[in-house]
Amino acid sequence: MRFYNKQHKHCCGIDLHARSMYLCIIDSQGELLLHRNMCATPETFLKAVAPYREDLVVAVECIFTWYWLADLCESQGIEFVLGHALYMKAIHGGKAKNDRIDSEKIATLLRGGMIPVAYAYPAGMRAGRDLLRRRLYFKRKRGELLAHIENTNSQYNHDVFSGKLTYRCHREDAADRFEDASARKNIAVDLEMISCYDHMLKELEEFIVSTANEHDSETIRLLRSVPGIGRILSMVILYEIHDIERFDRHQHLASYSRLVKCQRESAGKVSGTGGSKIGNVYLKWAFSEAAIGFLRKCPGAKPYYQRLVKKHGKGKALTVLAHKISRAVFYIWKRREVFEQEKFLAA
């Protein structure tokens, strides 16, 4: 957890919503200068903070509406701090909670150097990252349709399909094996939706690839040197990390990627682990998929994986491998060097 601890003359805390925001400004002594509700528009915000622009810092909790405010502050030369929503316990743990109280708490935490900082992703690659996340959503919806076809086939006790339904050739006659007209229609609707997703995802991926290459084609080339990291995973890793200099050590990247468990301890007694949902879920998915792909693409990976299974068990072995791939990605990106398989497996 990192805190924003710079001191400023004026501290502004905002409880931000889609159409409104409650704004609180205090000075370095904690005196309340402005505290009121207003419309969430750039003009209203700039007019409200105009008398306090000297050495002003603005903080807001990380919710889905922060993009426009961060871009506005950057264009106006105003310091902007994005608070980590899961860490801001002083906001969520109060006895009474409303917009007025929350905005004052944010301003007070900011003044006291206790705002837990989230990464304010810059505008240049933000839309590309959101598009990649949307692609994953559509991909999962397509997977749900494929799973429904498999489940329906099992309900009627038909023979298993000749191959994976992810391939068009193995699902062309999927509806014909059902005698009931309603069952055939049920499968036909799924097949039609899958075809729509296939067409849309193909166009979407081509667009994302062209955009990503414009941003940082060299980093994508380095990431793809790792067996198991292909076209899509390399772009997910690139867009979710954005700048490897955010992380001082590879342990920080692994923690951000949800690949470590944090031990809970008090008075020398361990009470389990926690923090499994703190971090970037998309990087967790990317490195987990990269571990599975690594076992398929790397010739010497299976003996190494069997040693991990013998030591940790099957479930944990994949997590250990994903953790090690994240460490390799960290140093590949930092040192601008391609992946070395012998060094990776020998370590």
The CA distance from 196 to 190, in Å, is 10
pLDDT digits (tens, 9 = 90+) for 126-150: 999 999 999 999 999 999 999 999 9
pLDDT at 281: 94
Residues 6+ apart with CB under 8 A from 23: 12, 13, 14, 34, 35, 36, 37, 38, 45, 48, 49, 103
The total of other beta-carbon atoms located within 10 Å of residue 55's CB is 12
pTM to 2 decimal places = 0.87
**Among all chains, which residue has been given the structure tokens 């919503």?**
17
Give the Å distances, CA to CA, from 183 to 26, 49, 177, 178, 295: 65, 62, 10, 6, 39
pLDDT at 329: 96
The CA distance from 308 to 291, in Å, is 13
Phi, psi dihedrals of residue 271, rounded to the nearest 5°: -115, 30
pLDDT at 347: 65
User: What residue ranges of the chain have pLDDT lower than 50?
Assistant: none
| Nearest of 250, 229, 182, 181 to residue 339 by alpha carbon | 229
Give the Å distances, CA to CA, from 171 to 46, 141, 143, 145, 196: 57, 17, 14, 12, 14
